[in-house]
Chains A and B, each alone.
Chain A
């Protein structure tokens, strides 16, 4: 039995207006310690899928189990990194991390909690910035704090919601490497689910890439871009990334196997009947995705 088991889930929303069927018949198995990236275009429903896996929202049908237990809320040993950092501005970096440590390890003394938080911040290279508030940190540093906050709780499952989406290309690359390093340093295997629209990022970090395929436009709304007018998304077949680690962006750019995986993923995503938007094939490409969208507009 797989560590994370997703069986036939579906999800619809009915927020002001017609029912939106976002996901249909989504099934996925993940082994303990596996790093899986769910790759798809914006609006394809991948954020919804992550919320469901994480227990932030409940599916309309189907089941999700982590470690054999059905998901009925946020998992005890799960941690998150959000795209927009989600740090509390009134706390310093250290206090932000300590809040998570305190919630995860209430039995520890205050000193032990602080030591653990300091240690986690040290691992992401922020030992000298522990007393700064998020406002005084750059985007990359904020996301480092968020990564430290997630890892300090020693999670079994890590959910990454497009964690580098808000960063510039250079910072993005550095942080991707750091995340890979932090993950490999953890005492026990951390099962990780990441959603991203960057194929490159997915190849760099994952063991396996799962494309999410938006459904075709509904008849009455051909050419429309909003997911309200599309059939629900499904998952494509998994694409394994069997490249040796550690991986670097520079090395992947010329690696034959990486090129093969890249073209496979892009082909799967673009061949889907409901191709919504072109998917970014390089990091730091939010603007390029937008351009691609603009080109596809009728």
Chain B
């Protein structure tokens, strides 16, 4: 009982300690707002999270909603491309050898590098942002799906062979179910990356959202709002990861 209570309280102790460090730091660096000042200047956004006062001057939930919608679209686009690629690479070692070098080169490219290319290709900021999110977030799904297919035990392939299942049946009844848990791990990691990319793409394109808000407030010298945006990004990212984790656990339980 007491152990559970301690376990429950420990994270709050950690948060309190972090806020302590933050307030000490704010005394040493003159431009860094203290926790109290951050709260004072941000409470309008937090207490009225759904109010729209202007193009970028909006409640924090509304801003997070714009960002989430953009991330959602980019993420869905990314995994819609990545999942079939993952299956193909998993089944065919020839294709893997063919495309592995390209993948290894494309994977570490920062979203900041993809965005200008997106702008050139699509002329508009919104599709360019989706392009950057999709291209950056697809790799964990490609790789995990591929590994999932390769990890299918020989037993299951034997079942397909001795039952003389058609290629299509083998795919839907054996390959996909066997790969599903790996695929979802890929989706979770991909969503994490998509959320990382959003800030960069909103900053560069100036679209409304948490990232756009952050950049605008930096330019308006309202430093407390930078911290508000940072904390929001963190909390939302954490929530997304937890939700995907739950979905993944459900799948594994089957």
Chain A residues in the interface with B (C-beta under 8 A) = 54, 56, 74, 76, 78-80, 82, 84, 86, 88, 90-91, 99-100, 102-104, 153
Sorted nearest first, the 9 A-B pairs with minimum C-beta distance are: A90-B177, A80-B162, A86-B155, A103-B163, A100-B163, A86-B159, A103-B165, A103-B164, A74-B162
A78 to B174, CA, bound (A): 20
Name the B residues within 8 Å of A104 (CB-CB).
163-164
Q: A74-B161, A79-B162, A86-B159 are in contact. List 13 more A-B contacts (CB 8 A).
A: A54-B162, A56-B161, A80-B162, A84-B155, A86-B155, A88-B156, A90-B177, A90-B254, A99-B165, A99-B169, A100-B163, A102-B169, A153-B163
A153, B166: Cα distance in complex, Å: 16
1/0 contact trace for B130-166 toward A, CB 8 Å? 0000000000000000000000000110110111111
- Docked Cα-Cα span, A88 to B153, in Å, equals 11
| B164 A88 Cβ-Cβ under 8 A | no
CB distance from B126 to the nearest CB of A (A): 39
**A88 near B158 (CB under 8 angstroms)?**
no
The majority secondary structure among interface residues of chain B is helix
Residues of B within 8 A of A103 (CB): 163-166, 169
Can you give 24 contacting A-B residue pairs, CB < 8 Å? A54-B162, A56-B158, A79-B162, A80-B158, A80-B162, A82-B158, A86-B156, A86-B159, A88-B156, A88-B159, A88-B173, A88-B174, A88-B177, A90-B177, A90-B254, A91-B173, A99-B165, A99-B169, A99-B173, A100-B163, A102-B169, A103-B164, A103-B169, A153-B163
Please name all residues of chain B whose beta carbon is closer than 8 Å to the beta carbon of A78 when the two chains form the complex. 162
Smallest beta-carbon distance A55→chain B, Å: 9
* Chain A nearest CB, measured from B135 CB (Å): 32
Residues of A within 8 A of B155 (CB): 82, 84, 86
B174 cross-chain contacts in A, Cβ below 8 A? 88
Closest to A76 in B: B164
Proximity string of chain B (68-86) to chain A, C-beta cutoff 8 Å, 1 when within and 0 when not = 0000000000000000000
Residues of B within 8 A of A76 (CB): 164
A93 CB to closest chain B CB (Å) equals: 14
* 24-77 of chain B: CB within 8 A of chain A: none
